[in-house]
Each structure stands twice: as structure tokens, then as C-alpha cells.
Structure 1
Amino acid sequence: MNRVSPGGRRYTGAYSVAPTIFTEQGNLDLEGQKRCIDFIIDAGADGLCILANYSEQFSLSDPERERLTATILDHVAGRVPVIVTTTHFNPRICAERSRDAQARGAAMVMIMPPYHGATIRCGEAAIHAFFSDVSERIEIPIMYQDAPMSGTQVSAAFLARMAHEIPNLSYFKIEVPQSAAKLRELIELGGDAIEGPWDGEEAITLLADLDAGATGSVLGAGYPDGLQPIIREYLAGNREDAVRIYEKWLPLINFENRQSGLMACKALMKEGGIIASDAPRRPLTPLHPATRQSLVEIARRLDALVLRWAH
């Protein structure tokens, strides 16, 4: 079964998770949000992912989610494809979020398996039913986010079976330990039903996952100018060039993944004058000043566009 997204498009490449921009008081900063989006696109990202965990989606109200979805998709205006994260524990609410994203022009929705807290999980039958319910209510592709945050461990065989049996479930963002091995098995078992085997986790496993057959990745948004060329060169058959670029940017990739996490992008954007505030929403706290200084120092040595785009 060879399924390609509406319009015959198969989505590949480097997609950046857009952070949610807040004022120092914790309110949405929509003007700052638009500048953030413009930078990401200008810096070379092939697409965007919004309302993800790296967007602090867990701190947003439903009206804020709707406002951000409308504002960002209207502002992007088709310049690049946009993935909207619509994760929710309840399939009806997840489907409603997904239908709204589709109506506003989303290219795809990204969904985690249903979970709550440290202990409430669902088995394979319930997960299959969940994604089937959502798929029946939309027409755009679904990306399954296979991430440790959900605390839900499923096999590549189960994911491949869902890809064969659920029409719109055709993209898989694999960001669990030994991701490359899981991607290889998923691709082998899923065949043409796996339209998009994707990487995640801030590019820390990107090269291994590309070697395993990944065709896209959801990455941080602080330096698309460094990350997009890695995937572009690799998919063009220029692996040695991709390795060289990856090695160049690896210190920043590693620092974001291991030291600064979701705070990295906004810290770099504020340092470069793109946004006025890099404040996270409470109860999250800002980066330690020394951590922030080290992050900026690495980015400056790489001449990252984020530090000079606004000037």
C-alpha cells in the first residue's frame, strides 16, 4: 500500500518546533511569535511544528491554543508546511483539535499516545482505537510521536500494523532510546505504509537515524541554518557533506539536548534581538545565567544566524 498525502506530497526535511513566546508576565506575545516564525522560515527550515512539548503546550489553555494556531497559520500563509500537535488523552477532544488544525491549513497533526501523569497508560488495543477514531475524522496525515514523555512503550511491529490498518497514520517520529534500530524495523515491517519515518530529540540522534532510513526530523528552532543542510545533503546522497556539517554543529546540538532543553531556542532568539522576552511559563524557570552564557558562546562561535538575523 503506497499512500501519499493529499496533493501527492510526501513531507521530508528539517521541521523546527516553534517555541511559544510569552511576555515576562506570562501572557502570549503574538507579535514576538510572528517574528519568531519569520526567523525560522528565513533560516531555512523546511517546515514548522507548533504546540509541541518544546512549545510548552502543556501550559496553554484551550483558547490560547486556538489563538496560536490561527495566528501562526495565518502568518505562515503557506510559506512552509505546518505540523500542529493536537495531543489529548481523550480521542474526541484530540479529533476536534485535529479537525480545527486541518480547517486552518495544517499539513499534518502530531499526536502522542494517550497517557496521564506517571501511572495512567493505555494498552495497544486502546491506542489503536484512539488513532482510528481520530483518523476517521480528518483527511490530513497523522504523525505518531513515539517519545519517552508519554511513558508508553510500543513495538515497531505494533506501529507498523497501525500504519497498515489506519489510513491517515503514516508518519512516525521516533525519539526513544536506540531510535535507529526501531526505525529500521519500522521501515522493514511497514513498507510503503510508512510514508514518513522521522527523527526527533533535538537532532542528538539525527545522523544515526538518517543512516537508518529517516527522511525527516522535528528539531529545535534556534539554528535551522545549521540543521537543515544536514538533512538536505544527506537526502541528496551527499553523506560525507552531511557528516561534516553535523560534526560542526554537534557541540550546539549536544548542549541544547543535554544542558538547556526547551529554553535554548528562546534564549538564543532573545540574545539575537528577535524576541523581547525568553521567559518560560511558570512553574518553569529560566536558564541559569552561566548555562545561558555557555549556550550563546557556542552559537556565536558557529556564527548562528539567530544572533544576527534581527540586526
Structure 2
Amino acid sequence: MKPYNGIWPVAPTAFNPDGTLDDDGNRRVMDCMIDQGVDGLCILANYSEQFLLSDAERETLTRLSLEHVAGRVPVIVTISHFATDIAVARARQAKDMGADIVMMMAPYHGALLKGAPTQIFEQFARVGEVGIPIMLQDAPLSGVELDVPLLARMAREIEMLKLLKIESVGTAAKLRALLATAGDHIDGPFDGEEGITLLADLDAGATGTMTSATIPDQIKPVVTHHLAGDRDKAREAYARVLPVINHENRQCGFRAAKETMLEGGVIKSAFCRHPIVPLPPEPLAALMELLRPLDPVALRWGK
């Protein structure tokens, strides 16, 4: 068993109806996730709307989250930035506040500014000098192609690069190749993207998944059964939740978790900052129709 395993969902950021941070709502989000038996959680990720938060708000949310979780589960703080000095400063701040792990994508800005392999390696190495475990997020959003030889070299040569979250096209094949070439240096092979390819990724050697916060209690049995060696039960559990995962991934995005938590009384608003538009009524109604038979914790936690 790898040291890092299980389900580590992304916390959505709760806003008041006027768009300001809802501090109490964000604390309730943490409690709701922990009450679902998550093995860890992640803040300030893309599904936390990190690209719509100011630097001051990032610091506020980091401090609030770490103080409120208070060691009940490990917390990953996302620190991605194109500028290496800023990524290093964010890593140092997260470590000083008590984060367990930092997560970062390869450096990119817009569609055209992308780090070359040498620059990517150097940025992760610089962050590694801070002395906190790193999760590398290999995500399509960055537009950066991270091939297996580069990732394997980084895993072997950057001591603090402990986890790889692979959610690019062909995740299972990539995970299998990475574990074959650098498996002894990867303490946490994870997938992401709401778990839409979770079963195949577990078959390929993933030991953890970073989903959204919509139904972690329902997805966790897939991982638990698979890690226990019972693939039949894992397959059955996966078939049960896959319609929700697919609808969230293809129709809703990060708005699904917020709408679920609003319906369940966890937060008081599903507000998303402009230019993100609210979830239209049709996919929202379909989401609730798919969720209710599962009876997820988030749909009833605050009622």
C-alpha cells in the first residue's frame, strides 16, 4: 500500500450572495467533508475557483481552513503560479500555516506561455527546497504536455515530489507507465477529474483519487473495495455512482458541489463569481434527480 491513498476531495469556496467570502460557510464545507470520512482534502484548487480569488483571500482561506480542520485530516494547499518565486512563497506560507502537502501544476499562463521541460523541473525543484511534500497536478487546463520520461525523472530526482495526480487524456495508461518506471519514488499515485475514469485508474495502480466534494462518501467505497482486493465490489460501487460523476464532469463542473451543498443546507449560497454563470435549471434539475437515490451526506448534512 502506498503511504498516500483513499479519497481526497476538493473543497468548494463558499461565497455570500453578494460575492464576499462566507467564512462560516467555508468552515461548514470542511466539516461536511470530514463527516463523510474523507482521507484528506484539498483547498484553493481549480474546483475551489482559485482563479477567481485575490491573494489576500487565498491567505484568508488557507488560514481559516487549516485552523478549522486542526489536523483532523491532512490538507493539501494548491500553490500553482507561472512565476517560480511566487510558487515558492506560496509553498513556504502554506508550510508555515501547517499544510501537509502543496499541489501545483506545471507553470503556464494563458494559451501560449508554457514552461519548457527544464523550466518545469526547476520550478518543482525550487518548491521542493521549501521542505513540504508536493503533489504534481497533470491537468489538461494547463495545456502543458508532461510526458512520462519527464514525470519519472522528476519523481526520481526531486525528493519532496511525493504524489502525482494524473488527469490528462489516457490517465490509466500514463499511471501504469509511470509506476513501471518510477513506482518506488511515487508515494501517492492519484487520479482526478471527479473520478470519471476511476476504476480503470485503480486497475492501473492508482491508490487515491481527488474528486469534487459532491459525493465523496459515495465514491470512497470504490477505492476502499479496490484497495482491499475486492474488484467486484469496487465495480458495483462504481457503476452506482458513475451517472452522477459523468453528469457533474460533462454538464456542471465545480458548480455541482456548491449546488449540492446548498440543497443540503451546508452553505447558504451557490454563488459563483463572474464570469462564471450560475448552473442553468435543466442540468441542475438533472443533477438532483441523479443524486437523490444515492442519498449522499452533502445533500442532507445541514438539514
What's the TM-score, normalizing by structure 1? 0.95
- 1:218 pairs with 2:196: no
Residue of 42, 50, 73 corresponding to 2:43? 50
- 1:310 pairs with 2:297: no
- 1:195 pairs with 2:179: no
Residue of 175, 186, 202 corresponding to 2:178? 186
Can you list the C-alpha shifts for 1:260-299, whole angstroms capped at 9, x where unaligned?
Answer: 0110000000011111000111111110011111101111
Query: Aligned residue for 1:23?
Result: 16
TM superposition outliers: structure 1 runs of 4+ over 3 Å: none
The size of the alignment, in residue pairs, is 303
- 1:268 pairs with 2:260: yes
**How far 1:191 sits from its partner (Å)?**
2.5
Query: Aligned residue for 2:5?
Result: 12
**One-letter identity of the residue aligned with 1:143:** M
Distance 1:74 1:30 in 2: 12
Can you list the C-alpha shifts for 1:53-85, whole angstroms capped at 9, x where unaligned?
Answer: 000000101110000000001000111000110
- 1:34 pairs with 2:27: yes
SS in 2 for 1:300: helix
The 5 Å alignment of 1:84-163 reads 84-136=77-129, 138-163=130-155
Query: Aligned residue for 1:209?
Result: 201
**One-letter identity of the residue aligned with 1:13:** G
Cα RMSD (Å): 1.2
SS in 2 for 1:209: helix
**One-letter identity of the residue aligned with 1:169:** L
Distance 1:298 1:304 in 2: 11
Distance 1:15 1:187 in 2: 20
Unaligned runs of 5+ in 1: none
**How far 1:226 sits from its partner (Å)?**
0.3
Distance 1:49 1:107 in 2: 10
Distance 2:215 2:38 in 1: 9
**How far 1:154 sits from its partner (Å)?**
1.6
**How far 1:214 sits from its partner (Å)?**
0.3
The 5 Å alignment of 1:273-288 reads 273-288=265-280
The 5 Å alignment of 1:227-306 reads 227-306=219-298
Q: Is the CA contact (8 Å cut-off) linking 1:46 and 1:228 kept in structure 2?
A: no
**One-letter identity of the residue aligned with 2:121:** H
**How far 1:131 sits from its partner (Å)?**
0.8
Q: Is the CA contact (8 Å cut-off) linking 1:26 and 1:282 kept in structure 2?
A: no
**How far 1:167 sits from its partner (Å)?**
1.0
Q: Is the CA contact (8 Å cut-off) linking 1:135 and 1:167 kept in structure 2?
A: yes
Distance 1:293 1:106 in 2: 37
Query: Aligned residue for 2:62?
Result: 69
**One-letter identity of the residue aligned with 1:243:** R
- 1:81 pairs with 2:85: no
Percent sequence identity is 52
Distance 1:217 1:50 in 2: 15
SS in 2 for 1:28: coil
